[in-house]
């Protein structure tokens, strides 16, 4: 080939390459700019480990299949509990686990779930459908807690139970005496009593737990609380049913009439993309409008906590009574073809963003919020783990809990964050959410959530005194807003090492990808 011909070919090839690359580059949106200062000079409250609590109800395939497969199952298990799920969940350092409901708690009779399994009664699950074999009962739950290293949070039955039944259950679990119930526990295979640090008196007594008025429940609560006894060195924190969303009157009445008898008051708030219980929105098929509305709705958690806390402050300025957000998370339409009562939903990158935003909110209010339990742990609503018979996969939400575990028990450090809004039409939310803490070993942790699905954030980051020496951590993101992990493709959304930062002298610039969750450890001087 002539050299002129060669040159022409090279030029044509170059023009083609440039023509292909330039538009793609032009489409990459410019990052937005933000500034963030961690106020290391203003350490605040401890981030209670229990903000990372979980919830396991007898509902759908959570307990049966998701956790309990039975000792004779071909699925590898330890004393009936599936090994894969337990191993994955152990990684989260779960501090506390709530059980057996939920609505189910107010129809659960503990004596059904003790003794030889083949003799236990089969009862209809009136809350969620199907028949409960009672194979998973008190011993199995507390065995699971011990395997996970989690504290037990037992939810008592007020709706269809009695104070005597509740009192007996507590004696059965926690007494070391030579009493009939403690001896029954021993005959059932457990010599030493268990510790039960948290016990709730009913669930959603304004709804599925009895449709009560707050004035009535306040009295019922006081009555039941009287019969919750501490045995053999166990100390129970008594939790009362609180309100939901903007149900401020419930909090007002409970605090006015029963605050001195309680250690915690619950709050339930679920994130629905549309806010409409009749048509909540799909877990996986959504556009940017629904991405935005989901995040706008989840951010309401901040306002709800502030306003319920303000009421609690009137009656309990010392903040002795904890606000326990013991149900939170996303709730979508039932997946087509799935059992209506099972509340099984897939989990996408959007759920990871929701999780990060809420955990940052809980840190911000950890002077009052002492526990939070995402709903729910396996196969139900915003789950950590999904199973399909012998298969198991972990979700994007799981990874957020794993990344954020560094904040458990650390001291909250306020952050001054200046960031533009992420707007869509008339709606606007902050584009970034951030939280920082210092752990007992002196390490500084920073978690960042970029809510904007299109633009990366360039964040000029500093600390109020001293300087940052090094940065390490992880980032969780994916190409699509609805990226998810499936049984066939379990690694679509998983954390990667974070390296997109520049550190020049004391100037740290972090480049946080669009739609991502980042958790960093900052080494400081």
Whole-angstrom distance, CA of residue 512 vs CA of residue 187? 57
Shortest CB 203 distance to ligand AHR, Å? 5
- Examine residue 132 and tell whether it contacts ligand AHR (CB under 6 A): no
DSSP bridge partners of 509: 460, 502
Residues 251-280 that bind ligand AHR (CB under 6 A): none
Q: Which CB atom, from 204 or from 263, has the smaller least distance to ligand AHR?
A: 204
- Does the annotation count 204 as an active-site position? yes
Q: Which residue is nearest to ligand AHR (CB)?
A: 102
Q: Which CB atom, from 324 or from 519, has the smaller least distance to ligand AHR?
A: 324
Q: Which CB atom, from 77 or from 203, has the smaller least distance to ligand AHR?
A: 203
- Examine residue 137 and tell whether it contacts ligand AHR (CB under 6 A): no
- Where helices occur in 38-137 by DSSP H, the ranges are 83-90
Q: Which CB atom, from 203 or from 379, has the smaller least distance to ligand AHR?
A: 203
Q: Which CB atom, from 326 or from 452, has the smaller least distance to ligand AHR?
A: 326
Element (H, E) at 449: strand 444-450
| Measured distance between the N- and C-terminal CA atoms of the chain, rounded to whole angstroms | 64
Q: Which CB atom, from 202 or from 495, has the smaller least distance to ligand AHR?
A: 202
Three-class DSSP category at 175: coil
CA max distance for the chain: 103
Alpha-carbon separation of residue 250 from 204, 240, 427, 440 (angstroms): 11, 11, 30, 37
- Examine residue 204 and tell whether it contacts ligand AHR (CB under 6 A): yes
Residues 300-329 that bind ligand AHR (CB under 6 A): 327
Regarding beta strands 96-99 and 81-82, do their DSSP bridges make them parallel or antiparallel, or are they unpaired?
unpaired
Q: Which CB atom, from 375 or from 386, has the smaller least distance to ligand AHR?
A: 375
Shortest CB 381 distance to ligand AHR, Å? 6
Residues 353-412 that bind ligand AHR (CB under 6 A): 375-376, 381
Note whether 369 and 46 are within 8 A (CB): no
Question: CA nearest 338: which of 393, 284, 411, 258?
Answer: 284
Shortest CB 442 distance to ligand AHR, Å? 38
Whole-angstrom distance, CA of residue 311 vs CA of residue 315? 7
Residues 50-79 that bind ligand AHR (CB under 6 A): 57
- Binding string, 83-122, against ligand AHR, x = CB under 6 A? ------------------xxx-------------------
Whole-angstrom distance, CA of residue 361 vs CA of residue 368? 12
- Does the annotation count 474 as an active-site position? no
Shortest CB 380 distance to ligand AHR, Å? 7
Shortest CB 268 distance to ligand AHR, Å? 6
Note whether 288 and 453 are within 8 A (CB): yes
- Examine residue 193 and tell whether it contacts ligand AHR (CB under 6 A): no
**How many helices (DSSP H) and strands (DSSP E) are in the chain?**
11, 27
Q: Which CB atom, from 161 or from 409, has the smaller least distance to ligand AHR?
A: 161
- Examine residue 36 and tell whether it contacts ligand AHR (CB under 6 A): no
Total residue length of the chain: 525
Three-class DSSP category at 3: helix
- Examine residue 461 and tell whether it contacts ligand AHR (CB under 6 A): no
Total chain residues near ligand AHR (CB under 6 A): 10
In angstroms and rounded to an integer, the radius of gyration of the C-alpha atoms of the chain is 25
Question: From the candidates 327, 458, 474, 523, which is the catalytic residue?
Answer: 327
Other Cβ atoms less than 10 A from the Cβ of 320: the count is 13
Shortest CB 234 distance to ligand AHR, Å? 26
Question: From the candidates 91, 107, 204, 474, which is the catalytic residue?
Answer: 204
Burial 107-125 (b: 16+ CB within 10 A, else e): bbebbbbbbebeebeebeb
Residues recognised as catalytic: 204, 327
Residue ranges in contact with ligand AHR by CB under 6 A: 57, 101-103, 203-204, 327, 375-376, 381
């Amino acid at each position: 080939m002539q050299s002129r011909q060669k040159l022409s070919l090279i030029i044509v090839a170059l023009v083609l390459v440039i023509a292909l690359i330039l538009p793609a580059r032009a489409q990459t949106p410019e990052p937005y700019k933000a500034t963030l200062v961690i106020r290391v000079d203003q350490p605040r409250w401890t981030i209670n480990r229990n903000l990372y609590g979980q919830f396991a109800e007898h509902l759908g395939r959570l307990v049966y299949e998701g956790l309990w497969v039975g000792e004779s199952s071909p699925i590898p298990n330890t004393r009936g509990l599936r090994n894969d799920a337990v191993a994955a969940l152990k990684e989260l350092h779960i501090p506390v686990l709530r059980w057996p409901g939920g609505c189910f708690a107010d129809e659960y009779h503990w004596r059904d779930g003790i003794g030889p399994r083949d003799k236990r009664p089969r009862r209809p699950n009136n809350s969620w459908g199907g028949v409960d074999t009672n194979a998973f009962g008190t011993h199995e739950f507390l065995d699971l807690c011990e395997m996970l290293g989690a504290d037990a949070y037992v939810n008592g039955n007020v709706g269809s139970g009695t104070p005597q039944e509740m009192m007996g259950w507590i004696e059965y679990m926690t007494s070391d005496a030579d009493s009939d119930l403690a001896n029954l526990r021993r005959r059932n295979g457990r010599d030493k009593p268990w510790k039960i640090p948290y016990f709730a008196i009913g669930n959603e007594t304004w709804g599925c737990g009895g449709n009560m008025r707050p004035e009535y429940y306040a009295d019922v609560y006081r009555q039941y609380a009287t019969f919750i006894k501490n045995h053999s060195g166990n100390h129970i924190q008594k939790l009362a049913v609180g309100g939901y969303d903007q149900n401020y009157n419930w909090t007002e009445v409970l605090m006015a009439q029963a605050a001195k008898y309680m250690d915690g008051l619950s709050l339930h708030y679920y994130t629905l993309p549309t806010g409409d219980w009749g048509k909540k929105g799909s877990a996986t098929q959504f556009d940017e409008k629904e991405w935005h509305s989901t995040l706008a709705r989840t951010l309401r958690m901040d306002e709800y906590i502030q306003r319920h806390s303000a009421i609690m402050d009137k009656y309990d300025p010392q903040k002795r009574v904890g606000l326990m957000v013991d149900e939170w998370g996303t709730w979508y339409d039932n997946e087509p073809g799935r059992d209506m009562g099972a509340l099984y939903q897939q989990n996408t990158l959007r759920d990871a963003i929701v999780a990060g935003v809420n955990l940052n909110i809980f840190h911000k209010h950890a002077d009052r919020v002492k526990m939070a339990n995402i709903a729910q742990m396996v196969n139900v609503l915003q789950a950590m783990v999904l199973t399909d018979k012998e298969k198991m996969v972990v979700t994007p939400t799981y990874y957020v809990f794993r990344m954020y575990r560094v904040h458990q028990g650390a001291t909250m450090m306020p952050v001054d964050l200046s960031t533009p809004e992420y707007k869509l039409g008339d709606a606007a939310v902050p584009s970034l959410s951030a939280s920082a803490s210092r752990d007992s070993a002196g390490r500084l942790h920073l978690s960042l959530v970029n809510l904007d699905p299109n633009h990366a954030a360039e964040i000029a980051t500093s600390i109020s005194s001293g300087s940052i020496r090094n940065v390490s951590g992880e980032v969780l993101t994916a190409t699509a807003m609805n990226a998810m992990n499936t049984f066939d493709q379990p690694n679509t959304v998983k954390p990667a090492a974070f390296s997109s930062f520049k550190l020049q002298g004391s100037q740290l610039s972090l480049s946080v990808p669009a739609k991502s969750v980042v958790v960093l450890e900052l080494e400081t001087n």
